[in-house]
Amino acid sequence: MTTNSTDGSSTSRIVIVGAGPAGIAAADALRGAGHVGEILIFGEEAHPPYDRPPLSKQILAGTWPLEKARLRTREELTAAGTKLQLSTRATALDVQAHRLELDSGQSVFYDALIIATGVRARRLSAAQGLRGVHLLRGLDDAVALRTELDGVQKIAVVGSGFLGAEVAAVCRDQGKDVTLIGSRELPMQEQVGDEIGTMLADLHRSHGVHLELGVSAAAFTHTGHHVTGVSLIDGRTVPADLVVVAIGSEPSVDWLGGSEVPLAAFDDDGAGGVRCDSTGRAAKDVWAIGDVAAWWDPDRRQYVRVEHRQAANEHALRSAQDILGRPAEHAPLVPYFWSDQYDLKIQSFGQQSRQHRFQVVDGSVDERRFVAVSTDQSGRVLGVIGAGMFKSLRRWRQALVDGNTVEEMLTSAFVT
Ligand SMILES: Cc1cc2nc3c(=O)[nH]c(=O)nc-3n(C[C@H](O)[C@H](O)[C@H](O)COP(=O)(O)OP(=O)(O)OC[C@H]3O[C@@H](n4cnc5c(N)ncnc54)[C@H](O)[C@@H]3O)c2cc1C
């Protein structure tokens, strides 16, 4: 990678694999930072780049046209000097030779390569060959689900993480008879903990969703090749005309097997994905960003992979700087996500972990207007989560960034 050290510009060819939010943000960031050389993006999907959060919200609810989820048109990218090749899958990488192999049979040489291939929805093998069982990861999934929803009444959602909980809320808002099934005791328990999980369970119940929590789905019942229900491990069956499976995801790294790109373990303790330093650098002239990338977190001293929208942008910006030889930024990356369910918007910053102390610092969780923090033993704020109290949430987010304790915050003069 040759970079002009005086202004950071470069005439080199930068190749991006994956035309999702992270890939597009990287192209923007490189141009924004003065890269004047070629940028090529290869994406396996046929659609122009689009955003995923609306898929389980406005697109599923039918309140947005599909175009509103679009990130960039091909014309916009062309105007920025970026070449986009869709329906093209990367199949192999030779780091030493700086060569990417594509399923079209092409070999492409690069000076710098960005891996932005995201994740794929995890499947249940029992669903193979069954009609009426849906996943929700891409635009095609959302359109197929939306189309079939119109003609059915009983919906079972398998998986009570944030995606399953959002899908259940949208389906219920459409007047469907919805059952949310999850192996955890509470919705989104891993992401938000017990107190907020309990509030979410109450929220779904109050809207009329049937909750089957603390019990796993074992198999599907069906007539011919069409699903008729979900069998639970305790022997009961939840009848369903349509089933949505939302049981997590796996990093899209299959094409990197045999390359020199280091991959993290993907098991109960490991986040999987491409192992990178804290600027996204994974191997010689190779960076990884977004959902697929496990970045080294110097504060937590571990690799962290975050499947949230804002991380895609932040990774892209930081890696673009590094690729162009700009001094690394050292501001800590603060993981952020939001989730919309009915009229509730939950926002979370930093780490939410059951190992940390949980404390409501403003409002009331029961009233669904609150800010709560997770702290370490000394009371230092590690995570902030809230709903309906934006100003206070922002203030506590700053406490997290500044490394303040709850005590310091509560005794400070600032009143919200
Ligand atoms: C339904 C849904 C709702 C969500 N809602 C929220 C939310 O409310 N808040 C939030 O913070 N986050 C949300 N997320 C997560 C957010 O969308 C992701 O964090 C974000 O899309 C990550 O962007 P990415 O570019 O890293 O990966 P992706 O969006 O997965 O894009 C990767 C792209 O690479 C392509 N690709 C994969 N392998 C190859 C290959 N070998 N060759 C070429 N192309 C390849 C994929 O097909 C895909 O198009 C949601 C996700 C989903 C699915």
Give Cα 199 distance to the centre of its chain: 23
Point out the ligand 1 atom lying closest to the alpha carbon of residue 119: 30
d(CA 124, CA 146): 21
The verdict on domain 123-246 having CATH code 3.50.50.60 is yes
Point out the ligand 1 atom lying closest to the alpha carbon of residue 308: 19
Give 309 Cα–ligand 1 centroid separation in angstroms: 8
- Among residues 237, 229, 54, 236, the alpha carbon closest in space to that of 152 is found at 229
Residue 112 has pLDDT above 60, yes or no: yes
d(CA 298, CA 318): 15
d(CA 14, CA 26): 10
pLDDT in tens, 207-228: 999 999 999 999 999 999 999 9
Q: How many CA atoms lie within 13 A of 336 on its CB side?
A: 17
Point out the ligand 1 atom lying closest to the alpha carbon of residue 311: 19
Can you give the pLDDT at residue 330?
A: 62
Strands 210-213 and 274-276: unpaired
pLDDT, mean of residues 165-169: 98
User: Residue 352: CB within 6 Å of ligand 1?
Assistant: no
Residue 259 has pLDDT above 60, yes or no: yes
User: Residue 54: CB within 6 Å of ligand 1?
Assistant: no
Contact criterion met (CB below 8 Å) for 86 and 47: yes
Give 310 Cα–ligand 1 centroid separation in angstroms: 11
pLDDT in tens, 51-94: 999 999 999 999 999 999 999 998 999 999 999 999 999 999 99
Point out the ligand 1 atom lying closest to the alpha carbon of residue 120: 30
Same topology between domain 14-120+250-323 and domain 123-246: yes
Residue 291 has pLDDT above 90, yes or no: yes
- Containing 58, the helix (H) or strand (E) segment is helix 58-61
Can you give the pLDDT at residue 38?
A: 96
Residue nearest to atom 27 of ligand 1 (CA): 118
The pLDDT-based confidence of 9 (bands split at 50, 70, 90) is: low
Strand partners, 85: 42
Token pair belonging to 387: 């709903």
- Among residues 72, 64, 350, 57, the alpha carbon closest in space to that of 192 is found at 350
For the chain, give every domain's residue range: 14-120+250-323, 123-246, 343-411
User: Residue 23: CB within 6 Å of ligand 1?
Assistant: yes
pLDDT in tens, 223-234: 999 999 999 999
Can you give the pLDDT at residue 329?
A: 59
d(CA 54, CA 64): 8
Residue nearest to atom 52 of ligand 1 (CA): 52
Give 416 Cα–ligand 1 centroid separation in angstroms: 36
Residues 137, 138, 143, CA angle at the centre, nearest 5°? 110
Point out the ligand 1 atom lying closest to the alpha carbon of residue 255: 41
Residue 401 has pLDDT above 60, yes or no: yes
Residue type, 267: D
User: Residue 84: CB within 6 Å of ligand 1?
Assistant: no
What is the assigned CATH class of domain 343-411? alpha beta
Can you give the pLDDT at residue 1?
A: 59
Instruction: Give the other-Cβ count within 10 Å of 1's Cβ.
Output: 17
- Among residues 322, 267, 365, 294, the alpha carbon closest in space to that of 112 is found at 322
User: Residue 17: CB within 6 Å of ligand 1?
Assistant: yes
Give 308 Cα–ligand 1 centroid separation in angstroms: 8
- Among residues 51, 45, 38, 52, the alpha carbon closest in space to that of 113 is found at 38
Q: Which one-letter DSSP state was computed for residue 3?
A: -
Q: What is the DSSP string of 277-308?
A: -TTSEEETTEEE-GGGEEEEETTTTEEEE--S
d(CA 285, CA 281): 8
pLDDT in tens, 297-347: 888 888 989 999 999 999 999 999 999 998 765 677 888 999 999 999 999
Q: What is the DSSP string of 142-191?
A: HHHHHHHHTT--EEEEE--SHHHHHHHHHHHHTT-EEEEEESSSSTTHHH
pLDDT, mean of residues 112-124: 96
Can you give the pLDDT at residue 5?
A: 46
pLDDT, mean of residues 350-368: 88
d(CA 108, CA 98): 8
The pLDDT-based confidence of 414 (bands split at 50, 70, 90) is: low
CATH fold, domain 14-120+250-323, is FAD/NAD(P)-binding domain (3.50.50)
d(CA 375, CA 166): 27
User: Residue 43: CB within 6 Å of ligand 1?
Assistant: yes
User: Residue 251: CB within 6 Å of ligand 1?
Assistant: no
Give 54 Cα–ligand 1 centroid separation in angstroms: 12
Residue 6 has pLDDT above 50, yes or no: no
